[in-house]
Chains A and B, each alone.
Chain A
Amino acid sequence: MVAKEGNIAAGAPPKPAAGVFAGLGGILLRLPEASIAVVAIAISIIFEVINQNYFSGLVQVLAASTALYGLIAIGEAMLMITGEIDLSAAKVYSTTPFIAYYLTQANMPYGLALVLALVGAGLIGSVNGMLTVLFGVPSLIATLGMLFFLDGVTLSVSHSEPVTTPLAEPFNTFLGRGQQQPIGGAAQYAAFIWLVLFVILLTIVLKRTRFGTYTISVGSNLLAAREIGIRTHRVKIANFVIMSLLAGFAGITESIISGSTDPSAGDNTLTLYGIAAAVIGGTSLFGGSGTLIGAAIGAYVIAALLAGLPLIGAQATESNIILGMAIVGAILLNILLNKLRNQGRS
């Protein structure tokens, strides 16, 4: 276009990674989920060495808990990428199967009831989202309010009594009630398989769709996103809805696996495990960056610690000490690696 000597913004090419940045270290630095993967493998090896029953004895428990925490964690990760958070996830988890239960009480077929229950979960998410983006209530507060609200509604409507999940095929098999209806054993891992599918799906969404690009944009630079003309409200609300759908889905699978729809099933620590898993998996609390694979591996790390520590002799009370230290330790490792990453760049 214009012939002129020299170019604008001629930057020095990036220096070749040297020493610590080469080889395994290099991979560790490049992939945000690699550090949590190393932690996950290390924990697994340690547990297996101390007690050879770790994998063989716990594989089903590990798969089920990883699926449960993981579904919450990837939802929180999406939301945290937009710069928001959901504290009500565990209550959406316990409310959703109740919606399905009451719909079947009104003679609705179970399949349709499940679909409508998920619609209900999505609506809860959209209320969280609208409170946040339209009325400026910080998501921490909006979802805290939703937490208590849903808890109160579910407990009072059910009189704090669990009910029997209205089980029906094919939902049993596809949503995890493998113990009763084994199809080659795979149904026992249905929830875990769903987690893997959702991780793949949302990773593609994040990396290869407009919506994913906008999700990162609103969390990284909300003003820029608005200046460009992105509908930032919609993008954020949609991610609140995704979070609630995943929490509701997790609640439905759990109600089917356990056969019981329990109003007190969604303990708030479930939400906290999800948030912790997302953060130790490499998702920033400040928005703009995160990984769903990392969040899922983070969920496994938490599941492994919770299930594995008692196996190697820790008391339940003691395992929380280790869990707390492990969460902070994993985040410190992330911070350290981020520092190294930035040095490698300059």
Chain B
Amino acid sequence: MSSVPDPFNVAGLQNAPILLRTEHISKSFGAVTALKDVSIQLRKGEVLALVGDNGAGKSTFIKVLCGFHPPDSGTIEWEGKPLHLKSPLDARQHGIETVYQDLALVNDLTVYHNMFLGREKIIRFAGVVPFTDNGGMKRQTRDHLNRLGINLPSVSSLVRQLSGGQRQSIAVARSMQTAPKLLIMDEPLAALGVREGGLVLDLIQNLRRQRETSIILIVHNYNQVFEVCDRINFLHTGEIVLDRSTADTTEEELIRIVKSGLGRSAVAQAIASAGGL
């Protein structure tokens, strides 16, 4: 490793403080066990890929982390202290921003309303009556989108009028509006074209270079995993069955492991046959 240049200071990551640690998170929906004893750990500035088949529990897990689902059991530790999230707003106030798989946009509101949804800018009429500062939100949205290189016909158009990719861009932009400590992105590239997706990957790389924001990224494309992530956690039927740094593994190896079997033992066997962890 030492001969390879290290633009992202991957080596230094090992000394970064731990931002988030989950211990034995479990979550069921009726008879469906979506998460079983999920324990992960994330350092400050680290980019973690969460991969796994459809229905593996990826979205459920990040929805526990962002305060949407209360876990059935297990604990979350945040900056070394126990964290009990009461709501997604609570999580946002802690610096946890989420791009949901369904984007969480309101079609009947404008782009700028969506950009500030849940933390609207307020001006007080006569110093008392709180009104939303529509003009200010419009301006800041325009500036923010420009900064990220996102072009929209108008920030005053209803989200309903936008294309799928434009909508996804807005959801991504919203999550990057404040400087979050943890950025969770559930398939943020799904609806984006090659060029647009590339821009989001660049935004992630940029954050990765600065090592201020930790990122949990759910993607299905291993190319992208190896391009922007430091570590991979593989979730299978609600359990973490693989935890590796991208530097210690290759795409081919990962694909072989994933293809070769389902279930913890199968994956363990595959890992063994691939030469161990």
Contact = CB atoms under 8 A, between A and B. Distances in A.
B132 A4 contact: no
A210 B122 contact: yes
B200 interface: yes
B152 A213 contact: no
Contacts of A4: 149, 198-199, 202
B104 A227 contact: yes
A208 to B, nearest CB: 5
Contacts of A104: none
A9 B169 contact: yes
Contacts of B170: 9
B16 interface: no
Interface in A195-227: 204, 208-210, 212-213, 216-217, 219-221, 223-227
B166 A217 contact: no
Contact of B113 (A6, A213, A223, A289): A213
Tell me the interface secondary structure of chain B in the complex: mixed
A250 to B, nearest CB: 25
Contact of B150 (A9, A13, A204): A9
Interface residues of B, number: 53
Interface string B104-131: 1111110001000110101000000011
Contacts of B74: none
A229 B88 contact: yes
A32 to B, nearest CB: 11
Contacts of A226: 68, 88
Given A227-B98, A229-B90, A345-B161, A10 B202 contact: no
Nearest to B105: A224
Contacts of B168: 9
A14 interface: yes
Closest CB pairs A-B (n = 3) = A229-B89, A8-B196, A229-B88
30 contacts: A1-B147, A1-B148, A1-B149, A2-B202, A4-B199, A6-B195, A8-B150, A8-B192, A8-B199, A11-B151, A208-B131, A212-B132, A213-B120, A221-B105, A221-B106, A223-B102, A224-B102, A224-B104, A224-B105, A224-B106, A225-B106, A226-B88, A227-B98, A227-B100, A227-B104, A228-B89, A228-B117, A229-B92, A229-B118, A230-B118
